Structure 1
């Protein structure tokens, strides 16, 4: 496996390796490279900066926590997930050869560099030395023959003459200097008692990262860094994958996030999903209650001691979590989670589920530990042994309960409790952090408990679910108005939702945090100016060529009111909202219906030459077909307005078929931010197109149509980092779609070749209803012109969810074949 990679190391802590590593990640990402990131050691703050810089999960590589044998597979996993990266940047820890005390450098940066055969880029603070720096490089380079130092970045140079002197001495050794950073670079991250302030707590993080990326690109030779990374030999390892548990209906695990809970290892979520759990992030500082359907709780790392007053003020959530824990909902609380469940922290009353109080202590606890389960616990059977680490500056009183969570090197620590009296522990609270990738049995044991526990807030299934807004029972075929029927009408509570094409159950944490901050601006009337400017930059068009709207639905209404065509044509099957809006405005469009036998391919010649308004979806809802750009462009003609609904264009990582470009004459392209960013409840979309046509649409738009939160979404999701995240989500969706398509074909079906986040397939009459009875909601096809009740549209979800649908669909089809035989 080819994995270009480089380890950023230093002679000691405080040399600037985090600044250089994060700067490289951000600069390379902005240069168009897909960058994966990792951190040597247990540190959980730096990976937050890595994630911000790259748009990918920040990961850790630690032989002590994960086992030597897993370091290489985990590196490969980081480089390949969610899509293959162009380069992987690994930030070291402390000095190059500093590891666990008394082990000759175990878990040091050098240890990981040797295990992964990764070249090392040294960062050296030269503020108090000149030629002596070369002696340091020489020593670091020759100390261990298994470690290859391939380049140096000089940090905190006092002057050009100073830097030149050091460069000559270092390069005389045959080691190239790849960059020089001045002493007054002006880029640093604030710190406090446990190191850097987490990125989630910094309002200026994005601005600071932009400045750091620009500086790094200017002062470091990025091409040379890439060449060093590409010099790494191929990896002879299979990427790590979370062990899969038994196939079972997903259960929700509420996972603490927000400013007070900034850390958990990325692999924890992956392990839980593989075990049939759905991690749902909630913010203990802001959310009034646990997520609906919570069957388990995971409270990871963070700084509740810093935010204790805010956490204590959210009394409704404190009570809700306390009730859940006392009802026996399986709960894991590591370090910050332990403090949150305590009776009080720094005098602020919190959940009170663990009989202890906590306060700051003058001494920092930072150490690797060997832990053993003294008895059966939520996480391990009696005698189970794991490797973990402690990192905190608080102390609990008393220090442990009668039933400790762990024996740390024989010393009782934490709590293993059975608050509901179930006969087995359902609460595990400890200072110890454990990397579950190194001990996947912990995840499996916790997941088994979650699946065995009842949901504390059950999702009710009505006896006769009624389709929203129609009064028609969901299992019946009648639809009051087919043009207004939407997928959300199918997704009644209690069913697995494969009818709605929104990716994820909530916006990503960074976007949710921006929205929370924007709530403070709601007293002022909204302005879409910044949103329009951001979207114009994103597409490389003038601001006059962009009109922010309250979702694509408003855009359809505006164009129906503003345009008065003589002969309007809608290409079907496609989303019915445009036709519904045209009819409401007094225009009855003609249909050009694409054929299933042609896989719904677009034939521009089928559209009447004198049509002065043509509406087309691309990728098309519900067929999933992505029409080639040339075919769409062929529909443009003098005197004609071409409306292209590109609501799902961002499910194509390259947006290869989008018609947004320099020539927008007679063109209106509609975009939605609902699907990729999980924002169906916050209407945010926009139109890119002919400025003359947009001015006519704007005349029909009510004042302040685009609210403050929607405008903020437009600004944040137009950034390069957000676009990179969307592209990676599209790549992941492509893999999930391939899995679903293959499964449908294995059942003997012929799904329409799709290029987006849903798949259209002909399954037969009555199959949709049968799937509902088995717990799965899919979108009916008969409300789309050109399709009938034998067609269904299936949203692309993760393979575990798709496998559940495929299993039930297979049983339905097999039963029908048996009856027909």
Structure 2
């Protein structure tokens, strides 16, 4: 067992590296984790090529710990058990029950202590000797010194500990593990996880005496227990078919115990994984659904965009398909999660909170359900930062400390509580029994395109890549365009003249310096603080490629291009949602402290909300880049709350000329901000990416004539938007008060498609993380054009329209 005096000493690093290093010597290795944790076993599985296993007396009973160790280690040459917290830290008030020491005693496993010695010297000896002498039932046989410094200090520590020093491991920042609000990022979500584990193995092999560790392992006593057998706990119907149990997986649902799947298989079910981010339907022949734990809050927008799967899952639950949902699964079945539409199979809404719920309870079943019988008791654990309102239905799944929790019925069991079915095999048996008698899920028909969509070639069905969806697709086919946020007026004569003159320079490679100088003068900056770009889209790509971001954050709902660019560059994006209940206002405190990149729009597309400059300034701190997308700022009279003229370390502002100047075909924009960052962006920019016409347009739009015309257009937009919002208000339609040349309207699900049938294109908003199909974005247009939208709404909305 690899244990430690306290948490944070490097147990996961050393244990996972040890598993990989031993595997590299051609030994078969099994990995185990003390406690309920799901994340560490994911890394163990990568290191060993076998499922990671948990050993938890609270969850499975002390009598099953040794049998489960033998079951998981079947066929292995060596088993490595990673401890939890400090060696003797267990369930509070139980004298160390379920601690690493308890598991070591139950399995008669020798313990090697990992100690972070970066801030200690001879005191390590006192610490280690105390740990070794505290409980005679626990055999501490050696020490690995982690994050070691000088040779002199290592020698001093070695003389003090009184136990064999089996390894001296120096600090290596390349193998640091990224974390989020519930601990480490799961292996399935990290780009390059396999390479990280490989480096861990190399690092441990270089600094730990593997032969000495194997001798320690060989000294372990023979266990007088029999391996756990799933077939001894449950039985399969004789001669029956093998019904499919669909088990959620992928990056979002990474938390489940391997033994649960083994029990279902032994009970005659066929376990088939599906990915809620990628698969548009449940597996063929599904007759049961298991939704485990994970991080749906991180991927809420993408989950919400997969509407066909959500519809099929909702129908499956409502039709009585046996369904088990734990924690993340509960959130996925809810009506919404942080404003994102989820399956809607449970009448509740979920949201992220700042409060961590962490408990190790005993739960009582208040009645007969899919999994339980009235009065039965189970042990489990909860670990989440979300809250559900309401937290339970008419038939709660559990009572915990006297309070009801979760939702249950004869075919559904959904709650925050995680249970280990090896400790409660009757839960698996009842679920499997219900699955055997259930009909197969009927696939939900995909929402088809409306008649207008069929004739124009632009469907309204869920999209394979919603982050890449753009309003110009919706406005094609002769529809009246309220979907694209480009000023509907003609370009000024001076801009057309500049574009034609730009073409005169098409015979030579473009020189962006005139554009750089013009932008610098416009914002009172130095030329070195400006980078002309091929529109804001190129700038987002440059930012994504700039650094190996550890925790990039995109504030949503907003223009999806930066999110898509980051994912395309191989980054895992953390989404911070502005909530509808707050008017989509931005709360800087919602940004994780370890975020090294934050992207936020101002004013934000599609909400039209203008965030205070002070809130955005407050995001800046050492080691973090803050990118503010001001693509629509020039459409606001006076450009309030703009940061384009401010010199702040770690801040870059992006601008686009596309919208306000009616030149979407001329990709023209720029980045302005921190000189050091701008210099980095320039280094990753493709040479000559900004065309001669774009350079000419940029110079023209920064000049004196442009300033007066930009202000006139901005005030014109204000008047048009006031007319649109007055009409929406008169119609009783909910909308978000806007400062941008568009308005986000809650028109109702299906209105987008019905407007197309009337020849009107508005921008569907369900492709923006945080919004669902009830929302549409409406571009601001002159009153006479807006009246045609109102006329169409009167025909497609129940009860008519009087605005």
Q: Compute the TM-score of the two structures, normalised by the length of structure 2.
A: 0.55
Residue 432 of structure 2 is matched in structure 1 by: 447
Instruction: Give me the whole-angstrom Cα distance separating, in 2, the residues matched to 1:350 and 1:340.
Output: 6
Residue 22 of structure 1: how far off its partner (Å) = 0.3
Residue 457 of structure 1: how far off its partner (Å) = 4.2
Instruction: Give me the whole-angstrom Cα distance separating, in 1, the residues matched to 2:338 and 2:104.
Output: 41
Residue correspondence of structure 1 range 449-598 to structure 2 within 5 A: 449-457=434-442
Instruction: Give me the whole-angstrom Cα distance separating, in 2, the residues matched to 1:63 and 1:209.
Output: 28
Instruction: Indicate the structure (1 or 2) with the bigger Cα radius of gyration.
Output: 2
Residue 240 of structure 1 is matched in structure 2 by: 228
Residue 216 of structure 1 is matched in structure 2 by: 204
Instruction: Give me the whole-angstrom Cα distance separating, in 1, the residues matched to 2:355 and 2:131.
Output: 32
Residue 134 of structure 1 is matched in structure 2 by: 125
Unmatched runs of 5 consecutive residues or more in structure 1:
1-6, 418-424, 459-516, 522-821
Residue 105 of structure 1 is matched in structure 2 by: 96
Residue 28 of structure 2 is matched in structure 1 by: 34
Contact kept in structure 2, 1:343 and 1:357, CA below 8 Å: yes
Residue 166 of structure 1 is matched in structure 2 by: 157
Residue correspondence of structure 1 range 177-326 to structure 2 within 5 A: 177-184=165-172, 186-242=174-230, 243-245=233-235, 246-247=237-238, 248-326=240-318
For 1:427, which of 368, 393, 412 is the aligned residue?
412
Cα-to-partner distance string for 1:267-290 (whole Å, 9 max, x where unaligned): 010000011111100000110000
Contact kept in structure 2, 1:405 and 1:416, CA below 8 Å: yes
Contact kept in structure 2, 1:292 and 1:457, CA below 8 Å: no
Contact kept in structure 2, 1:312 and 1:348, CA below 8 Å: yes
Residue 453 of structure 1: how far off its partner (Å) = 0.7
Instruction: Give me the whole-angstrom Cα distance separating, in 2, the residues matched to 1:201 and 1:440.
Output: 30
Cα-to-partner distance string for 1:398-456 (whole Å, 9 max, x where unaligned): 11112101111221000013xxxxxxx21111000000000000000001110111112
| CA-atom RMSD in angstroms | 2.0
Indicate whether 1:403 and 2:399 are aligned: no
Residue 358 of structure 1 is matched in structure 2 by: 350
Instruction: Give me the whole-angstrom Cα distance separating, in 2, the residues matched to 1:244 and 1:416.
Output: 23
Equivalent residues, number:
447
Residue 163 of structure 1: how far off its partner (Å) = 1.3
Instruction: Give me the whole-angstrom Cα distance separating, in 1, the residues matched to 2:212 and 2:357.
Output: 40
Instruction: Give me the whole-angstrom Cα distance separating, in 2, the residues matched to 1:404 and 1:31.
Output: 51
Instruction: Give me the whole-angstrom Cα distance separating, in 1, the residues matched to 2:183 and 2:190.
Output: 14
Moved over 2 A (4+): 183-186
Instruction: Give me the whole-angstrom Cα distance separating, in 1, the residues matched to 2:51 and 2:442.
Output: 30
For 1:56, which of 50, 58, 63 is the aligned residue?
50
Contact kept in structure 1, 2:370 and 2:412, CA below 8 Å: yes
What SS class does the counterpart of residue 361 from structure 2 fall into? strand
Contact kept in structure 2, 1:377 and 1:405, CA below 8 Å: yes
Contact kept in structure 2, 1:159 and 1:182, CA below 8 Å: no
Residue correspondence of structure 1 range 759-774 to structure 2 within 5 A: none
Residue 185 of structure 1: how far off its partner (Å) = 5.2
Instruction: Give me the whole-angstrom Cα distance separating, in 2, the residues matched to 1:409 and 1:370.
Output: 8
Residue correspondence of structure 1 range 369-380 to structure 2 within 5 A: 369-380=361-372
Residue 339 of structure 2 is matched in structure 1 by: 347
Contact kept in structure 2, 1:45 and 1:197, CA below 8 Å: yes
What SS class does the counterpart of residue 122 from structure 1 fall into? strand
For 1:21, which of 15, 30, 34 is the aligned residue?
15
Residue 205 of structure 1: how far off its partner (Å) = 0.7
Contact kept in structure 1, 2:234 and 2:425, CA below 8 Å: no
Contact kept in structure 1, 2:88 and 2:99, CA below 8 Å: yes
Instruction: Give me the whole-angstrom Cα distance separating, in 2, the residues matched to 1:229 and 1:357.
Output: 50
Residue 232 of structure 1: how far off its partner (Å) = 0.1
Instruction: Give me the whole-angstrom Cα distance separating, in 2, the residues matched to 1:296 and 1:435.
Output: 18
Instruction: Give me the whole-angstrom Cα distance separating, in 1, the residues matched to 2:121 and 2:17.
Output: 24
Instruction: Give me the whole-angstrom Cα distance separating, in 1, the residues matched to 2:180 and 2:234.
Output: 39
Residue 244 of structure 1: how far off its partner (Å) = 3.5
Residue 182 of structure 1: how far off its partner (Å) = 1.1
What SS class does the counterpart of residue 270 from structure 1 fall into? helix
Instruction: Give me the whole-angstrom Cα distance separating, in 2, the residues matched to 1:369 and 1:156.
Output: 36
Residue 67 of structure 1 is matched in structure 2 by: 61
Instruction: Give me the whole-angstrom Cα distance separating, in 1, the residues matched to 2:417 and 2:44.
Output: 24
Residue 384 of structure 1 is matched in structure 2 by: 376
What SS class does the counterpart of residue 381 from structure 2 fall into? strand
Contact kept in structure 1, 2:17 and 2:201, CA below 8 Å: yes
Residue 12 of structure 1 is matched in structure 2 by: 6
Instruction: Give me the whole-angstrom Cα distance separating, in 2, the residues matched to 1:229 and 1:393.
Output: 39
Instruction: Give me the whole-angstrom Cα distance separating, in 1, the residues matched to 2:85 and 2:295.
Output: 22
